Amino acid sequence: SDNGDSLYYHPPQGKIAYPIPLLGGMYTVRQLKYQDGRQQASYQYQTELKYLRAEKDDHFFSLQIFGSRKNGEESDSKISSLAKACAAILFPVEIRVSPAAQLKDVKFYHPESTIKNELEALKRYFTDDISASYIDQMKKKAEDKGHMLTSIRHMLPVQFLFGAFYRAKYDGWTDSGVYHEFIPWLTHATPIRFELYNRI
């Protein structure tokens, strides 16, 4: 029609189509820090999802994190270098997603003993006590599968792609029903329960 409403596409059965294999791609996350209405800093990183295979209705992706920047530049601080070195050992990981788009499992590509040995080897290059403590924390996190699953589930791209957004039911013509999602508002903070709805 002249109003363009013939171009409107309402989700079939009130659901947005969710072709899980097509979620593979590169995602950039940018977080801005404000104080008193003025921007203090900008943080950015990238997440890459590669679709691997389907098994018994579940879908498998590899997940990689890289390209961490502050205010558009890569930090050359010692702790930033250590964090990148640890990430290079821990990632990529393989994640398993259910047909309902829920993150079910995460696993390393290398045996846990190999990962812990490689992390321990970093102490030869990062010799101060703070670095040693950080490395020991990474080793504990690597052996705690539940912690790894929770950490990855709370990453913003994963939170969005495999969260409740695509499962929202569109009762009306343009608006979904209200749904709830627990979203971590800071990296190490307890997730907050949000009441959300989508509008097309």
For position 3, what pLDDT does the model report?
58
For position 106, what pLDDT does the model report?
93
Which residues of the chain register pLDDT less than 70? 1-10, 75-76, 185-189
For position 1, what pLDDT does the model report?
47
For position 186, what pLDDT does the model report?
60
| Phi and psi at residue 163, to the nearest 5° | -95, -155
Dihedral sign, CA of 165, 21, 67, 93?
A: positive
For position 130, what pLDDT does the model report?
92
For position 66, what pLDDT does the model report?
82
Widest pairwise Cα distance in the chain: 70
pLDDT tens-digit series, residues 100-128: 888 899 999 999 899 999 999 999 999 99
For position 4, what pLDDT does the model report?
53
